[in-house]
Amino acid sequence: MSAEIAEKRSVVLHALKDALIAGIVAFGLFILLLGFIADDSRGPLRPVPRPVLLATAVGIVFVGRFLISLIYYNAAALRYYLGVLWTAIATLARRYKWLLVAAMFVAAAVWIFFSPKDWQLILITVATIAVGVRFGFSAALLVFAMLFPVAFYGNPYYLGVAIIILTYVMLGWGLNIVVGLAGLLDLGYVAFYAVGAYSYALIAQHYDWSFWVCLPLAGIFAAFFGVLLGFPVLRLRGDYLAIVTLAFGEIVRIVLLNWVSFTNGPNGIGSIPRASFFGIPFNPEPNGFAATFGLEFDPTHRTVFLFYVILALALITNWVTIRLRKLPVGRAWEALREDEIACRSLGINTTNTKLTAFAIGAMFGGFAGAFFATRQGFISPDSFTFPESALILAIVVLGGMGSQIGVAVAATVMTASFELFREFEQFRLVIFGFAMVGIMVWRPRGLVSTRYPTVYLKERKTISVEHVAEGRG
């Protein structure tokens, strides 16, 4: 008994020691940057001490490290109990699948009973669960997305957030072609997004062409830029490739910023024509959408329409990607990702393979850009900075490179949480950065860490990601 107590005490002492060291380091880190602020609100700069903030920050680090150490030193026991729990749940779920389904229905019933009696919400819930039970998670997600505007018609804010989420899903899927399938790390993807947005904005303003004519053009222009970037980086790999794509993205942004006569520079382009319903504008005029279809004018019509446009665009991206994976070019991408030298030895034209990956990835970025421009009505170079690229890359990486559904989930989680914590502008970015680090440490292969092979013999087996060499470049 006393040995056990002694052991426990030593664990606590160890944890305390760790926490003390962490606290000292944190004190060193924070003493100047948090402990003081260079204040220039009254004349020249002067240091203003902030002891409370400093103490809080150091205290948080101290306590946090203490708890982590405690858990870490008791890790064996903790892992054992977690493992037992997990195995139990997994076995139950596997053996009694119907139980899970029943539980879901019960949960849905309870929720419907207690939530505001809204038939649209009930419909969407029941439909999603039913489809989910029969056809799986992806189908449920799709049905939920399709029915979303029906359920939330009265809430334009939710619709707006959903549109942003879908835009990022589409961007994530587009970048997934380059990073997840072809394994080329692209840190300048936002450049293609910008090219798409600016080509739509400029063409629509100068020539007054419709959105539906400009959309393919924006994609083509972006694809052209993709090839333009692709050519010089053909010989590069890995980190070098990443840095060059980053430089490319910056070059595009700086040119947009400084070529004032063409792009209007930092002031951006305003009053970009809105998308119309295949020629019928969304306005209260007699030739508008509402009047044509005998409805009462409602600005939400446009939002719902935009929602379905971006949903369709995203689904097209997904469908094309899935189909391309089965074509020779898609297989060549994945082969290239796994081993470039082997690829070349087998006679795959790596030049064309890389260029098509860049071009097609860029094209979808361009589509998304054109959509962004028509939704916002205003664009400026500020929307196309490096953090945006980092966000899209983070979505792809966190989702599990190469996994379509993982990317969709990651985009949803990330964008929605960004929207949720909008008030904490910088704070959420700090958390976001730490989340990127944390996921790399704990789950380097992303949320969805199993892959299905594109080509298989008789039976389609899951393969572990450990056997896939994603993003080697």
Residues that bind other proteins (CB under 8 A): 25, 28-29, 31-34, 36-38, 40, 44-47, 185, 187, 232-233, 235-236, 238-240, 242-244, 246-248, 250-251, 254-255, 257-258, 339, 341-342, 386-387, 390, 393-394, 397, 426-427, 429-430, 432-437, 440-441, 444-445, 469-473
Question: Closer to other proteins at the Cβ: 274 or 472?
Answer: 472
**Shortest distance (Å) from residue 58 CB to other proteins:** 13
324 close to 360: Cβ distance less than 8 angstroms? yes
The one-character DSSP state at 447 is S
Check if the beta carbon of residue 200 is closer than 8 Å to that of residue 272: yes
Nearer to other proteins by Cβ, of 135 and 424: the residue is 424
Q: Are 256 and 381 in contact (CB under 8 A)?
A: yes
For other proteins, the closer of residues 81 and 442 by Cβ is 442
Residue closer to other proteins, measured from CB, 25 or 85: 25
Output the six-digit token pair for 345: 């030895």
Of residues 33 and 455, the one with the C-beta less far from other proteins: 33
| Least spacing, CB of residue 250 vs other proteins, in Å | 6
Distances (CA, A) of 174 to 192, 205, 335, 367: 10, 27, 19, 10
CB-CB contact of 161 with 418 (8 Å): no
Rounded alpha-carbon distances, angstroms, from residue 254 to 347, 400, 469: 39, 32, 34
CB of 143 to other proteins, least distance (A): 33
Q: How far is the CB of 381 from other proteins (least distance, A)?
A: 12
User: What residue ranges in 359-449 does DSSP mark as E strands?
Assistant: none
Shortest CB 470 distance to other proteins, Å: 7
Q: How far is the CB of 15 from other proteins (least distance, A)?
A: 18
Report, in Å, the least distance between residue 364 CB and other proteins: 21
Q: How far apart are CA 218 and CA 214, in angstroms?
A: 6
Structure tokens that stand for 177 in this block: 């072609």
Query: Who contacts 92 (Cβ-Cβ below 8 Å, separation ≥6)?
Result: 99
- For other proteins, give the closer residue by CB, 33 or 322: 33
Nearer CB in complex with other proteins: 94/422: 422
CB 467, CB 445: distance < 8 Å: no
Coil, strand or helix: which one is 30? helix
